[in-house]
Amino acid sequence: MITYVYWITVITLAFGVLFVFGHKVEEWKIASIAAVSILVIGFVAYHFHFQQLFVKRYGGVMTVKVPEGEVHIAATWKDDNLWIENYNPQTNTCHFREYSRGNLLQGEVTIKNCNPLLQKLPELQLKP
């Protein structure tokens, strides 16, 4: 919900500037540049700062795609960054991937010989 409010605010502000400077003051070139600047700044601010903050703190909207051939296991937050754990059955590895703001500084941890889908080991089974 907060994500939609953010975008409605940014778009309304851009059209407001376009209306005031373009229609009322008759400065269409300045109005166009200002409106495009507001949209670009709004997009960059959302993508590099607000997206994960909105999702974590205010129930925003975010989509993360699981890579082909992997099975999703878990997701957790560390500060304002999202960490997602996936399992690749072909290579028997677990991958922890960080989705940081703007996806600039993404960390990844790979655990080899990981088999989280194995429910019970033969030596750990309880006998009735």
Q: Tens digit of pLDDT for each residue in 53-78?
A: 888 888 777 788 888 988 899 998 88
Contact 60, 46 (CB under 8 A): no
Segment 114-122 shows an average pLDDT of 62
Burial letters for 63-91: b for 16+ Cβ neighbours within 10 Å, e otherwise? Answer: eeeeeeebeebeeeeeeebbbbbbbbeee
Query: What pTM was computed for the model?
Result: 0.63
What pLDDT score was predicted for residue 49?
A: 82
